[in-house]
Structure 1
Amino acid sequence: MKLQQIRYLLGVVDNNFNITTAAENLYTSQPGISKQIRLLEDELGVQLFVRRGKRIESLTQAGERAVVHGRRIMQEVENIRNLARELKGESRGSLRLGTTHTQARHVLPPVIQGFRKLHPEVIFDIHQGTSEQIAGMLSSGDVDFVMVTSSRERFPDLVQLPVYQWDRVLLVPRDHPLARYPKAPELEQLARHPLVTYVFSDRPESSLMQAFNAQNLRPNIAFTARDADVIKTYVRMGLGVGVLASMAVEEGSDDDLVALDARHLLPRLTTWVGFRRDSLLRQFQLDFLSRLAPHLTPERVEAAREAENQAEVDALFAEVRIPLHDNPPRPQLAGC
């Protein structure tokens, strides 16, 4: 068995079983990939792919298990390379982060600016998407870290570290009926208005839906988007009441809208950063985490990586004060 064969196996899977595309992305030939996969199957004595003629359709049960082990092997190979780089004192590398628009647009810029000054030779790649898309990026090895606020159950194989907490606001045009109030209305009144909010907020497990369900109410979600700027655009068009992160409301550019404090309506959320438990973090990666959140010290991060499960990780931060990333909505009464 060769590492190249495992690499080709994962390449075919990550390119939707299209050998031609996999060959292009791996800088090799289609016949070369097909031959190496056949040799791997012959050596293992099992079929890894379900085939229809010359076309690969999916993984067999054995193939699914082989892919899991293959990803672990390639991660350990990368760990050995990282160890060698650290021992040689190399400062070059890349940091690939999968995150949402809100984090990339409103939270990360000053963090990355400071990081780049400290590590100018490190390439920083931000991959934006929904939580489901980010999970796919992680599965295919396109990112080293994820930074999201979504359900942690979607990322069971990660060490998940709390970064900061945040609240939501309601956003309306200045001529909207709700703009007269200094804070958001009760949920019963809000349920009478169409809402514009983040994608997946209409799912039963979302905190927004749970808040309404707890009062036997059903929100009228008219539009969802993954981009806070898109949400604000449709709020301006009068499509509905915006429900979004408070840090996404910017003084100056959003002064035509009224932000209503919704802390009494919706639960406070926690954004977390995660990485694979079997990853060997380099010094510049540890520096990024500590710049992202001061309580993510190298000692705490290493202790979290060595923890047996996420429950032990959570216990490490039980007494840590997680900061609140807030852009407090000031009452903006209509006509003021």
Structure 2
Amino acid sequence: MNLQQFRYLREAVRQKMNLTAAAKTLHTSQPGVSKAIIELEEELGVSVFARHGKRILGLTPPGQQVLDAAERIMEEIDNLRKLARDYAGSPEGTLRLATTHTQARYVLPPIVQRFAHKYPQVRFKMLQGNPPQIAAMLAAGQADLGMATEALAGTPGLRTIPVFDWEHVAIFPAPHPLVRFVRHPERLTLKELGKFPIVTYETHFTGRGKIDAAFAAAGIEPSIVLEAIDADVIKTYAASGMGVGIIADVATRNHTEPLLAVKCGHLFGRNTTHLAVKQGAYLRGFVYAFIELVAPGWDRRRVEHALR
């Protein structure tokens, strides 16, 4: 057995049993991938893949266990390489952060700028997706850190730390019947808000679940006329008068649209954004430094204790 066989097996599964696609990703030949996997099966004495003729149908039960073991071995090899680079004093490397549009657009720019200034030799790679996709990227080892509100806390195989709390706001252009609640947001009710068409996030994004749950608990079916993953899109359509926008309060920072905002924490509750890492992953020194920039007070010792 060798690491190349494990690497080929892992990539074949990632490419949904398409050995040609796996070979392309690995910059090798399809026959080479096929031969390596067959040799692994012969050495182990078990069939890793279930086949019908030349077509691979999927993993066999023992094949799944072989893959799990190979994933752990590859992860530990990667951890050793990271550890060696840290102890060699090399600041070079790549920090891969998986996050949502809201975090990438409104929260992270000044943080990434400070990090880049402090670690100019570290390449920063930002991967965007919805929270379930972010959790999947972490689990697959495709990201070092994940940052989102939903899906991360409580996901098996991930460890999280809370970063900050936020609440939703209702946004609209003036004049508007909701203007009277700008100075007294606590007086706004779900019944009043439900009188207007709503423009808000897609399911799985930025606390949408809490919005739906609050209206459902009140027995109100809101008229959601537009859903988007991007707060900028929601603000644009709210400004056009299409409906009342419901977005994260962090997305109202420095916005230029002619919009008023009413805090809705009393209606939809508060939300917590988390940073997450894969359990057992080795984090390089600059990753801990980035975490502390995002969450001041979370130094390396505190983070290591929380992630155990």
1:18 aligns with 2:33: no
More moved, 181-190 vs 268-277? 181-190
Query: Cα–Cα, structure 1 residues 101 and 205, in superposed 2: closer, same or farther, change >3 Å?
Result: closer
1:85-124 map, 5 Å: 85-124=85-124
More moved, 176-185 vs 275-284? 176-185
Query: Cα–Cα, structure 1 residues 239 and 51, in superposed 2: closer, same or farther, change >3 Å?
Result: farther
Structure 1 residue 138, shift from structure 2 partner = 2.2
Q: Return the letter of the residue paired with 2:303.
A: V
2:252 maps to 249
Structure 1 residue 180, shift from structure 2 partner = 4.2
CA distance in 2, matches of 1:277, 1:151: 15
C-alpha contact (below 8 Å) 1:116/1:122 kept by paired residues:
yes
1:285 maps to 287
1:269 aligns with 2:262: no
1:258 maps to 260
- Secondary structure of 1:146's counterpart equals strand
Residue segments in structure 1 that go unaligned for 5+ positions in a row: 307-336
CA distance in 2, matches of 1:166, 1:36: 50
Q: Return the letter of the residue paired with 1:112.
A: V
Structure 1 residue 221, shift from structure 2 partner = 2.6
Among 189, 200, 207, the alignment partner of 1:186 is 189
1:198 aligns with 2:209: no
Q: Return the letter of the residue paired with 1:34.
A: S
C-alpha contact (below 8 Å) 2:165/2:273 kept by paired residues:
yes
Query: Cα–Cα, structure 1 residues 205 and 241, in superposed 2: closer, same or farther, change >3 Å?
Result: closer
CA distance in 2, matches of 1:109, 1:8: 37
Query: Cα–Cα, structure 1 residues 252 and 2, in superposed 2: closer, same or farther, change >3 Å?
Result: closer
Structure 1 residue 154, shift from structure 2 partner = 6.5
Indicate the percent of aligned positions where both proteins have the same amino acid.
43
Q: Return the letter of the residue paired with 1:194.
A: P
- Can you list the C-alpha shifts for 1:77-108, whole angstroms capped at 9, x where unaligned? 01111111112111111100000001011111
Could you say what the CA RMSD is over the residues aligned between the two structures, in angstroms?
A: 2.2
Structure 1 residue 187, shift from structure 2 partner = 0.7
1:294 maps to 296
Equivalent residues, number = 305
CA distance in 1, matches of 2:208, 2:49: 34
Structure 1 residue 201, shift from structure 2 partner = 5.4
Query: Cα–Cα, structure 1 residues 201 and 39, in superposed 2: closer, same or farther, change >3 Å?
Result: closer
Q: Return the letter of the residue paired with 1:299.
A: R
- Can you list the C-alpha shifts for 1:267-293, whole angstroms capped at 9, x where unaligned? 111000011121121111111111111
C-alpha contact (below 8 Å) 1:163/1:272 kept by paired residues:
yes
- Secondary structure of 1:264's counterpart equals helix
**Structure 1 segments of 4 or more deviating over 6 A?**
none
C-alpha contact (below 8 Å) 2:168/2:247 kept by paired residues:
yes
Residue segments in structure 2 that go unaligned for 5+ positions in a row: none
Q: Return the letter of the residue paired with 2:163.
A: V
More moved, 33-42 vs 137-146? 137-146
- Secondary structure of 1:21's counterpart equals helix
C-alpha contact (below 8 Å) 1:148/1:272 kept by paired residues:
yes
1:3 maps to 3
More moved, 28-37 vs 180-189? 180-189
- Secondary structure of 1:127's counterpart equals strand
CA distance in 2, matches of 1:3, 1:42: 16
Query: Cα–Cα, structure 1 residues 59 and 166, in superposed 2: closer, same or farther, change >3 Å?
Result: same
Q: Return the letter of the residue paired with 1:291.
A: L
1:128 maps to 128
C-alpha contact (below 8 Å) 1:201/1:208 kept by paired residues:
no
